[in-house]
Amino acid sequence: MSAFDVIAFDADDTLWQNERLYVHVQGQFKALLSRYHAPDWVGERLYATEMRNLQHYGYGAKAFALSMIETAVELTEGRIAGRDVQVLIDLVKNMLTAEVELLEHVAETIPRLAGAYPLMLITKGDLRDQESKIARSGLADHFSRVEIVSDKRPETYAALLKRHGIAPARFLMVGNSLRSDVLPVLAIGGSAVHVPCAHTWVHEVAEAPPDGHPGYHHVEHLGLLPALLAGVEAQQGGGEPGRP
């Protein structure tokens, strides 16, 4: 018996580029407001607006658009021009239709793992935006289950696993966000693999679990995941026969 019934993957910045698009648009946002304020200050104010709006808007590109517009109105004391507001809307529309660019090693690793385990996709954000990205990624057929959630807290994972009849001890989550993909899964007794991404939103940053935490693994990129899994399986499978 293999160690896991299901391996689940985060999508944005685990399977494909996402934060990089946000960083790019933020750069253009700062440039647009550069005659009013210093870029760093604009960035700080935008992040503060996003955090304030999170409870109402949730995650995703539409929420980001509305927070940029609100910040622009605030930082220009209402002097932002209508055509600049439209520039912001168009930037976000471009994000929503941008090509889905897979991260390195993803295109080979996902089909390979799909031959060995049932795979699941668990992503948070805008329903329509995430569905569209999954379809455009070309990876949809490798995932037997897809869950788009509004947040990734321990309760979210617990409810989701219960609904699918998966025991937490038999569940492995793979993702770039310690805060959303790793810590809540460990908290409910599951296993998690952290795969860092060059671009990770500051909101998703958290402390790694202490070394030796059961269930916690780390690989530098997704191409190393099959070897990690082989090691976990060998350890589990190899340990059993020798026992009384």
Binding site for a second copy (CB under 8 A): 56-59, 62-63, 65-66, 69-70, 72-74, 76-83, 85-86, 89, 92-93, 96-97, 126-129, 131, 148-150
Q: Minimum distance from CB of 167 to a second copy (Å)?
A: 20
**Sign, CA torsion 18/24/25/30:** positive
CB of 163 to a second copy, least distance (A): 9
The nearer residue to a second copy, 131 or 233, going by C-beta atoms, is: 131
User: Looking at beta carbons only, is 80 or 219 nearer to a second copy?
Assistant: 80
Q: Which of 87, 100, 84, 93 is nearest to 36 (CA)?
A: 84
Q: Rounded to an integer, what distance in angstroms lies between the CA atom of residue 81 and that of residue 211?
A: 52
Q: Is 105 left (phi over 0), alpha (psi -120 to 50) or beta?
A: left
Helix (H, G, I), strand (E, B) or coil at 119: strand
- Cβ 53 to a second copy shortest distance, Å: 8
Task: Output 67 or 109, the one with its CB closest to a second copy.
Answer: 67
CB of 173 to a second copy, least distance (A): 20
Closer of 59 and 171 to a second copy (Cβ):
59
Using CB atoms within 10 A of its CB, is residue 100 exposed (0-12), middle (13-18) or buried (19+)? middle
